[in-house]
C-alpha cells in the first residue's frame, strides 16, 4: 500500500457512526486529503445485495450464516474497493469493519470473538485499519436514538437490550486488547465535539 490510510468507525447501533463518518469525510476534504467514504455491509454492488439480506427484518438468519454473510460482503468490498483505493493513495473511511463482526456476532450472538476473527482473516487477507474510532454510548441512549429515527428498524436493530449489552461489552474488550489502534470517543457528546475528538485521534496520521 502507498500513502492511503484505512480509518474505521465502530460502535453499537445509535452511537453516531454515520454522522461522524460524513463530518470527518468533509473535514478531510477541506484539508486536501483524498478520501472515500464507504459503508459495511455494502459499498460495492455484490456487497449491497448481501446488505439487503442481513438488514431484512422479515428474514430469520442463523447466527453462523449471519457471520458468514457479513464476512462475504467484507471480502468483496476489500477486493473491489478498499485495496485499490489504498494502493492509489486514497484515504478510506469505513463505516464498520471487522470489529463490528467481532462485537456483534462474536459477542452479541455469543459465537466467540476468536471464531469470528478466524472467519474474517480469510475474508480480508491481512488488511488492517490504521486507526479505529470507537464511539461509546450507553446502550439505552443508542436504542433511544434508533427509536427516534423516521425509518423502520432493521433486523439487528430489533434485538433485545441484552444483545446490545453483550455487543457493547465485546467492543470494550477489543479496545483493551488493542488501545494503540482503537481510540475511544464519547458518542454521547455533541457532534462537533465528537468530530474534534476523532481528528485528535488521527492527528498523527495527517
CATH superfamily for 6-205 is P-loop containing nucleotide triphosphate hydrolases (3.40.50.300)
- CA dist list (Å): 110 to 37, 49, 50, 142, 161: 30, 26, 22, 21, 14
pLDDT in tens, 130-151: 999 999 998 888 777 776 776 7
pLDDT in tens, 51-67: 999 989 889 999 999 99
187 closest CA partner among 18, 8, 6, 4: 18
pLDDT average, residue stretch 142-162: 75
- CA dist list (Å): 142 to 18, 34, 145, 192: 13, 31, 5, 18
126 closest CA partner among 93, 66, 79: 79
Boundaries of every domain in the chain: 6-205
Sequence-ordered list of residues with C-beta below 8 angstroms from that of 202, at least 6 positions apart, any chain: 5, 7, 131, 133
pLDDT in tens, 66-98: 999 999 999 999 999 999 999 999 999 999 999
Q: What is the predicted pLDDT for the residue at 141?
A: 84
For the chain, give the DSSP string: --S--EEEEE-STTSSHHHHHHHHHHHHHHTT--EEEEESS-SSHHHHHHHHHHH-TT----HHHHHHHHHHHHHHHIIIIIHHHHHTT-EEEEES-HHHHIIIIIIIT-S-HHHHHHHHHHHHTT---SEEEEEE--HHHHHHHHHHSSSPP-TGGGS-HHHHHHHHHHHHHHHHH-TTTEEEEETTS-HHHHHHHHHHHTGGG-
- pLDDT band for 153, please (50, 70, 90 cuts): confident
C-beta neighbour count of 69 within 10 angstroms: 19
Amino acid at each position: 500500500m502507498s500513502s492511503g490510510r484505512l480509518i474505521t468507525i465502530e460502535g453499537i447501533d445509535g452511537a453516531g457512526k454515520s454522522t461522524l463518518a460524513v463530518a470527518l469525510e468533509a473535514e478531510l476534504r477541506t484539508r486536501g486529503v483524498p478520501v472515500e467514504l464507504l459503508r459495511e455491509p455494502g459499498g460495492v454492488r455484490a456487497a449491497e445485495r448481501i446488505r439487503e439480506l442481513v438488514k431484512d427484518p422479515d428474514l430469520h438468519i442463523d447466527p453462523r450464516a449471519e457471520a458468514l454473510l457479513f464476512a462475504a460482503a467484507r471480502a468483496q468490498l476489500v477486493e473491489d474497493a478498499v485495496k485499490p483505493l489504498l494502493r492509489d493513495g486514497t484515504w478510506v473511511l469505513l463505516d464498520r469493519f471487522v470489529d463490528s463482526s467481532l462485537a456483534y456476532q462474536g459477542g452479541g450472538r455469543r459465537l466467540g470473538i476468536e471464531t469470528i476473527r478466524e472467519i474474517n482473516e480469510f475474508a480480508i487477507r491481512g488488511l488492517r485499519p490504521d486507526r479505529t474510532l470507537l464511539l461509546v454510548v450507553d446502550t439505552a441512549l443508542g436504542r433511544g436514538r434508533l427509536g427516534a429515527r423516521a425509518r423502520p428498524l432493521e433486523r439487528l436493530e430489533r434485538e433485545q437490550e441484552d444483545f446490545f449489552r453483550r455487543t457493547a461489552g465485546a467492543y470494550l474488550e477489543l479496545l483493551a486488547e488493542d488501545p494503540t489502534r482503537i481510540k475511544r470517543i464519547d458518542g454521547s457528546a455533541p457532534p462537533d465535539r465528537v468530530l474534534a475528538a476523532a481528528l485528535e485521534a488521527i492527528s498523527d496520521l495527517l
